[in-house]
Structure formats: structure tokens, C-alpha cells
Structure 1
Amino acid sequence: MSILPAASRFLDREARLLERRLFAGDRAGVVRALRAHQNDDGGFGHGLEPDKRCPASLPIDAEVAFQALATVGAAGEDMVRAACDYLTTVTVDGAVPLASPVIEDYPRAAHWTDWTYVPGVNPTAGLAGLLHRLGVDHPWRAEASRYCWDVIESGELPDEAHALSEVLVFLAHVPDRERALAKAPAVIDQLSAHESFHPMPRPGEYGLTPLQIAPTADSPWRRFFTDEQIGAHLDHLAAGQQEDGGWAVTWEPPSEASRLEWRGMVTVQAVDTLRSYRRL
């Protein structure tokens, strides 16, 4: 099976419009697809992150939108600034939560519970980092960046793998490179020691891997992983393509529609990573 044609057929057959536009590298098309998920308050919702089927604006959906824009290099400044205006309304002491109790009125994955209502570096650091990557300035970005630096400088980072990976997104794109590169090794060491981090492939198990921390060959964090680790995960990633051309997910989404949406997302991500590491 040839990876690219099979992935393309899977996306044409099963994925939502956003992932098809991402796969095509269509900047304008990505912006148009995201507009359907943007609410009047400026935030994003309507299941843009597919694990909860909630129409209301949530910070996690803003992060998915920012990541999509960054992937194709489309700033989408007006929509991003509107999303920052929304984030300002849900910020507590510089940080935002992933979600809010409004998700309880809609189908959601089992892990989306009250822990997602607590403001923290997940997703604040990822949002701020993506805003730096997009080059979109806004008062919320400055406030969130100050919060992130305060947490990082305190040396009291949360012991949760996804939160640590969000901090690395921030450190990858914040302009103060000397300061960021000085702090990154401790964050990566803490993440690498976490039970949810997989230095080598663990087939069928959910967790973070070196390819999620360094999804492209030019990532500033690539140097923290050995060629053996990266190579093993690339082999595992390439072998993970399913018979239908897409990649599977290792958790239980709330519906079959959600599962297909996630499969479209991880398929685009898998192809982008394999292409960057010259495996296609």
C-alpha cells in the first residue's frame, strides 16, 4: 500500500472538510472551514476538538483552530484576534481551562470531566505558543505569556504529560530564545520520566511519544531524542496505517462520528510527520 494515495482516499471518503483542506495545504480553505466553528463571542466550538460534541466556545477548540492555521501558515488574524477576545473572558490569573461545565449537557469522552475546568498551562501555554508562532499580537498573548513564564521559572510544573508538552509548545515559539532554550531541558527531562511518555513504541497503548514532542525534523526538541528512538517511532507510525488508508486512535471517542473526525486529524498529522522526516 502506498501511504500517500491511500491516506488521500481515506480523507476524501471519511474526513471532515477541515482535514481535507489541511491535507491539500489550502490556506484559504482552512480559514473558511474554521469559520464554520467560530461563534459570535469569537471563540471556537461545535466539536472542533472532537472528544466533546458541545457547540459552545471552549479554549481547547481555540487551540485546535490555532494549530490548523499554523500548520498551513495562515495567520487568519481577524479570526485569531476574535478568539483572543473570547479567551480574555474565561481567563483567571492569566490562565484558561480546557473546557467548562457546559460540556456536561452534550456527549463527551469519559476523560472529559471536571479536571478540564481548572485553568493551567494546559492549554494556556499551547495557546500562547501558537499565537507567537502565528505572529498575532494581542493583550491576551502577553498576559498568558507572563503566566507561563511565572510557572516555568517557579520550577513547579504540573506532573502531567500533556501539560508538559504544552509548555514545550510555548518554549518552541516564544521570542526569548536564550531563555526558552535554557528552560527546555528540565521540562523534557520531567516529561521523559513520566509514565505516560513512551521513549520507544508501545503498540496499542495511549501516551505521548518523541514524535509528538518533535513532530517535524526541524523541531528544536529533536536533538533531545536519539536516532534509535525517532527511527523506531517512525517505523511504528508508518506501519500504523490501516487497511482503509487512515490511522487509528488509541482512546474511546464519544461517537462514531467523533472517531472518524479524530482519525482524519491523526492521519493528516501522521502524513505531515512522515513527510518531514523523509519517510515518504
Structure 2
Amino acid sequence: MNFDHAANFIWQHGRLLERRILEYFFFNGSKDYILKALKAYQNDDGGFGNAIEPDLRAPNSQPLFMEFGLRVLYDCRIKDKEISNKACDFIANHADLNMGIPAIFPSSINYPKAEHWNLPFSTKPSFSRLTGLVGLLKWQGIEHSWLEEAAEICLKDIFSKTYDDAHTILTAFCLIESMPQSDYIKGLFHKLSKELYTAKFFRLDVETQGYGLTPLEFASTSSSYCRSIFSDEIISKHLDVLESQQDDDGGWLIDWKPPGDTAKFEWRAYKTLKSIMTLKSYGKI
């Protein structure tokens, strides 16, 4: 793996957000610059917009964008009350605690998007998506009356339902991590861990081809909350594969079709950044 080539790919193709994160983790940059870059995507209603998730090119706020923005803070281990309180207000105004929240609102129909966001499920309320958002907000440590009620309802959902999609399990773990680690919460952790191994889109086998989430999505750092789910051997094999996937241009490829070349290179820069952050955490850089 060539770090200099990876960094150059991000300098060349990454947005200001990715470049600021690169600076922070590898060149003694400031987290304040990450926050300034992130706030540029936050609209007056508290939600994130402006194609922060590159597969939807909409300027208005979307739950999909909210998840991406809050995940940036989570991955960078940054807590910011101003951003997260505004974000919580937005989610509280749009979520239904009986039905959940959709990935994208019908207003997104007017903007370019990846083909998978044209499917009917995209605009239907999803409780598991709400669970992920609530978890990311809880991790921020903010106090909000709606959030406390929402967290309890989401925990009951995890307890009572089988989570069978790796994406929803990934975000559900954020809620579990954000709670005091009681026996009840530890039980939910083990429940999700067990469900992950048979979930759709989970790629445990390093030989599996195509789109999916590998153990490194759940244990992206050596100190990740979910690290204990996987053996050292599994993590080591996936790290070897991750290293080998660097392309000749220095970046990592994506395995889905985005809505244009701009989105493709934004995603590749983001994936390259996440890859080298993981490799650094495990001592590969």
C-alpha cells in the first residue's frame, strides 16, 4: 500500500471535508476545520443537505444526508453540541416514533441520484434507519427530551425484531454503544452480533465478490466497539485484502454506480480516506 499515492488521490479528488479529515488524522490538522467543513452542508432547518452523501445530488435536507454527516463525526470521534442539537431538532420534526423515517423524502425526485435510490423503499418510513440516527445522536451526548423517548423505543425495536440487513445492524450498534453498558444493553449487543453473521449484505468471507459490508466496516479501528465480534484472524485477512485493493491511481474503487463522474470521484476519495484511516489504526501505515 502506498500512502503518498492515496493521500495524493484525496488531495486531487476529495471534497474539502475529506481533505480536512485527512489533515486531521495524518498531518496534525485541526478538528475545528472538520467542523467548519461539515457545517457548510447543514441547512437552516438543522438537517444536512447539499449532496454530502454523493449518491443524491439534492440541496435540501434528507435523513440519508443526516446519517452521513453524523457518521463523519462518529468516525472522527468528534462531539459537537451545536451541530447535533440542530440535527436532533430536524429528526424530531420529521420522524414518526411508530413508523420511523425514510431514507429520502419525495422532494428528492427532482434531483439526480444513484439508481438504488429510485427504488420504492427509499421514500418509505424505516424504523431501523431511525434507530441508527437516534444512536448517532445519542453518541453525541446531547440532552434532548425527544431523544430520550426515541432511544427507549428504538431499543425495544432492537429487542423485539430480527435485524437482517448489515446496514441496519451497523447503525443499530451505534445506539447500543451510546447507552450505559448494562446487562440488558450487553444482551442486545450479543443479539445483533449473532444476527450480523446471517444478515444480507454482510461479507465475512474475504473471497466474496461484489457489494457488501465487511468486518472492517464494523471494526474500522482496533478500538472499535464491535471489534470483539471478530477474531484476529478474520480482521487480519480483511486488512490484507483492503491493502491489496488500492488502485494504480492511488485510490480505492467503489462497486456501485453513482449518479455521475463527480459523485464517483467524491465516493472514491471518501472510501480511500476511510481505508487509510483503518489501515493506520491497525498499524499498517
TM over 0.5: yes
Post-superposition Cα deviations, 1:191-216, rounded to whole Å, max 9, x if no partner, equal: 21124211122464101111111111
Q: Tell whether the 8 Å contact from 1:27 to 1:73 is kept in structure 2 after alignment.
A: no
Post-superposition Cα deviations, 1:18-41, rounded to whole Å, max 9, x if no partner, equal: 001111113111111112211111
* Superposition TM-score, scaled by structure 1 size: 0.93
- In structure 2, what residue type is equivalent to 1:185? H
Q: How does 1:226-245 map to 2 (within 5 A)?
A: 226-245=231-250
Q: Does 1:114 align with 2:113?
A: no
Gap change, CA 1:217 and 1:199, over 3 Å in 2:
same
* Alpha-carbon offset, residue 57 of structure 1: 0.4
Query: Matched residue of 2:180: which SS?
Result: coil
Tell me the residue number matched to 2:10: 11
Q: Does 1:63 align with 2:67?
A: yes
- Structure 2 unaligned regions, length at least 5: 25-29
Match of 2:255 among 242, 250, 257: 250
Match of 2:140 among 119, 134, 141: 134
- In structure 2, what residue type is equivalent to 1:61? F
Tell me the residue number matched to 1:48: 52
Q: Does 1:277 align with 2:276?
A: no
RMSD: 1.7
Gap change, CA 1:274 and 1:190, over 3 Å in 2:
same
Q: Distance in 2 between matches of 1:133 and 1:17?
A: 25
Query: Matched residue of 2:45: which SS?
Result: coil
Query: Matched residue of 2:272: which SS?
Result: helix
Tell me the residue number matched to 2:168: 163
* Alpha-carbon offset, residue 8 of structure 1: 1.1
Post-superposition Cα deviations, 1:71-98, rounded to whole Å, max 9, x if no partner, equal: 3333232122111111111111263222
* Superposition TM-score, scaled by structure 2 size: 0.91
Match of 1:124 among 122, 130, 133: 130
- In structure 1, what residue type is equivalent to 2:77? G
Post-superposition Cα deviations, 1:89-130, rounded to whole Å, max 9, x if no partner, equal: 111126322211111111111111331223334422222222
Using the TM superposition, name which of 192-201 and 232-241 deviates more: 192-201
Q: Distance in 2 between matches of 1:104 and 1:200?
A: 37
Tell me the residue number matched to 1:74: 78
Gap change, CA 1:226 and 1:138, over 3 Å in 2:
same
Q: Distance in 1 between matches of 2:22 and 2:180?
A: 29
* Alpha-carbon offset, residue 140 of structure 1: 3.4
- Structure 1 unaligned regions, length at least 5: none
Q: Distance in 1 between matches of 2:137 and 2:174?
A: 10
Q: Distance in 1 between matches of 2:182 and 2:253?
A: 36
Gap change, CA 1:6 and 1:107, over 3 Å in 2:
same
Q: Distance in 2 between matches of 1:103 and 1:173?
A: 31
- In structure 2, what residue type is equivalent to 1:152? I
Match of 2:218 among 213, 237, 240: 213
Q: Tell whether the 8 Å contact from 1:101 to 1:114 is kept in structure 2 after alignment.
A: no
Q: Does 1:175 align with 2:175?
A: no
Gap change, CA 1:119 and 1:158, over 3 Å in 2:
farther
Tell me the residue number matched to 2:194: 189
Tell me the residue number matched to 1:152: 158
Q: Distance in 1 between matches of 2:81 and 2:121?
A: 31
Q: Distance in 2 between matches of 1:248 and 1:217?
A: 23
Q: Distance in 1 between matches of 2:102 and 2:145?
A: 18
Using the TM superposition, name which of 199-208 and 212-221 deviates more: 199-208
Q: Tell whether the 8 Å contact from 2:167 to 2:201 is kept in structure 1 after alignment.
A: no
